[in-house]
Amino acid sequence: MDAISIIRDKRDKRALTDDQIDWIIDAYTRGTVADEQMSALAMAILLNGMTRQEIARWTAAMIASGERLDITGALADPAAAPRPTADKHSTGGVGDKITLPLAPLVAACGATVPQLSGRGLGHTGGTLDKLESIPGWRARLSNAEMLDVLRSAGCVICAAGDGLAPADRKLYALRDVTGTVESIPLIASSIMSKKIAEGTGSLVLDVKVGTGAFMKTVEDARELATTMVGLGTDHGVRTVALLTEMSTPLGLTAGNALEVRESLEVLAGGGPADVVELTLALAREMLDAAGLEDADPAKALADGSAMDAWRRMITAQGGDPDAPLPASRAQHIVTAPTTGVLSRLDAYDIGVAAWRLGAGRARKEDPVQAAAGIELHAKPGDTVTKGAPLMTLHTDTPERFDYATEALTTSYDIAPHGTEVRVGPIVRERIA
């Protein structure tokens, strides 16, 4: 077989055979298929799609490219009752810091949470990029280190190990810089290959829908969620998906250290109402999937046990939970041009602006700025006053301000006083 023939087949809308898929994933993992060839194939998949059989085989080939873990078996203690494992994955959004408070919250309620996370893709933030703003914190752990953190803290948030779906690790970075992030087959196989390979017992998927999500319509989000639930179920992982709103940024921050700060507010019993609502909704789904439906995540936030689990996890991964978070060297305030009611705040535009400030990357090898991002001072439905701060831009490189503010010129609308602004539910559908 050869890569060019496979690219041509998909370019010409032909379904790839099992043998073709197995060969291309294996050859790309070993380096005999070049990045530019896999980029061409990824674009052909984006444009022409895949059948369910192709997606299933692509996912299986990604899993087979590396090792499979058995976290439940590795953590089994004959002298103690087993703790069920539960994991969560978000398809990516703007201001989506939910994993940070969620993992320790679910751990505090009795589950073991092996949260393998990723870096930013396009205009969306990455969980690992956010946590790396904490001094000393390490994303890369060996399997033995990951199990040690799970034993001591009940939860871990880390990068997938080198042996876990290595094909996905290469392709994940490539998709970010080739305009192929939005492909439903590639999203589904990327997420589910890692989650199935890690060996979790149950999985809750947070599938974002809206302007700031990769899935812009409910129909596309539903298709992605249904595909992933089917993949998980077929591999023996109890899988549930929630379709959640992402036309407006989550919370009041978009950016790495800024979102860590907001997550700490949630763990301390405060934080923005929408972040708390979604954190609790996902926590209840994870606990129910793990057989812990009687646990009360709201109580674990209120009594400090979730914060205790956070501190144990951060410390176990080399971080200092008491260290100050990085602050940007420069700030720029965007003021409201008129008085009225903020009627729209576009998540995609906010995400692009944060990316331009340095919170994201243009190439897979680019660093990100820990302190870059956007702090919001109002959300849809709030009253704003002419000349008052609407958002504050943060960066270490102030020459980026002009480029970032270009993305914000159409990012919001202000309606006259008295206008009724309807804010829809965060959770739009549940798919199981």
Confidence bin at 80 (pLDDT 50/70/90): low
> Does 56 reside within a domain?
no
Q: What percent of the chain stands above pLDDT 70?
A: 98
pLDDT in tens, 311-328: 999 999 999 999 999 999
Q: Which of 316, 346, 367 is the last residue of a domain?
A: 316
> Does 284 reside within a domain?
yes
Cα 272 from Cα 283, distance rounded (Å):
17
Q: Which of 18-22, 233-237, 337-341, 384-388 has the lowest mean pLDDT?
A: 233-237
> Does 308 reside within a domain?
yes
Are 175 and 254 in a shared domain?
yes
> Does 237 reside within a domain?
yes
Are 43 and 128 in a shared domain?
no
Whether residue 250 contacts residue 124, with contact meaning beta carbons closer than 8 Å, is answered with no
Cα 346 from Cα 349, distance rounded (Å):
6
Indicate which CATH number applies to the domain containing 38. Answer: 1.20.970.10
Cα 353 from Cα 371, distance rounded (Å):
14
Average model confidence (pLDDT) for the chain? 94
> Does 425 reside within a domain?
no
Are 177 and 268 in a shared domain?
yes
Are 158 and 100 in a shared domain?
yes
Are 178 and 308 in a shared domain?
yes
pLDDT in tens, 292-316: 999 999 999 999 999 999 999 999 9
pLDDT in tens, 245-284: 999 999 999 999 999 999 999 999 999 999 999 999 999 9
Give the per-residue pLDDT at 131: 97
Which of 168, 206, 346, 349 is catalytic? The answer is 168
Which of 175, 208, 222, 312 is catalytic? The answer is 175
Are 146 and 286 in a shared domain?
yes
pLDDT in tens, 326-369: 999 999 999 999 999 999 999 999 999 999 999 988 766 778 99
Give the per-residue pLDDT at 77: 75
Which of 83, 89, 195, 238 is catalytic? The answer is 89
Indicate which CATH number applies to the domain containing 231. Answer: 3.40.1030.10
Are 44 and 84 in a shared domain?
no
Are 275 and 178 in a shared domain?
yes
Give the per-residue pLDDT at 18: 97
Confidence bin at 388 (pLDDT 50/70/90): very high
Give the per-residue pLDDT at 79: 66
Residue 377 bears catalytic tag? no
Which of 190, 193, 202, 411 is catalytic? The answer is 190
Which of 88, 194, 208, 238 is catalytic? The answer is 194
**Does the pLDDT at position 157 exceed 90?**
yes
> Does 89 reside within a domain?
yes
Give the per-residue pLDDT at 198: 85
Question: Which residue range forms the structural domain that includes residue 394?
Answer: 330-415
Confidence bin at 81 (pLDDT 50/70/90): low
Are 164 and 260 in a shared domain?
yes
**Does the pLDDT at position 155 exceed 80?**
yes
> Does 60 reside within a domain?
no
Are 260 and 345 in a shared domain?
no
Residue 175 bears catalytic tag? yes
| pTM for this model (two decimals) | 0.89
Q: Which of 120-134, 232-246, 259-273 has the lowest mean pLDDT?
A: 120-134
**Does the pLDDT at position 400 exceed 80?**
yes
- Domain count within the chain: 3
Are 340 and 365 in a shared domain?
yes
Are 126 and 241 in a shared domain?
yes
Residue 208 bears catalytic tag? no
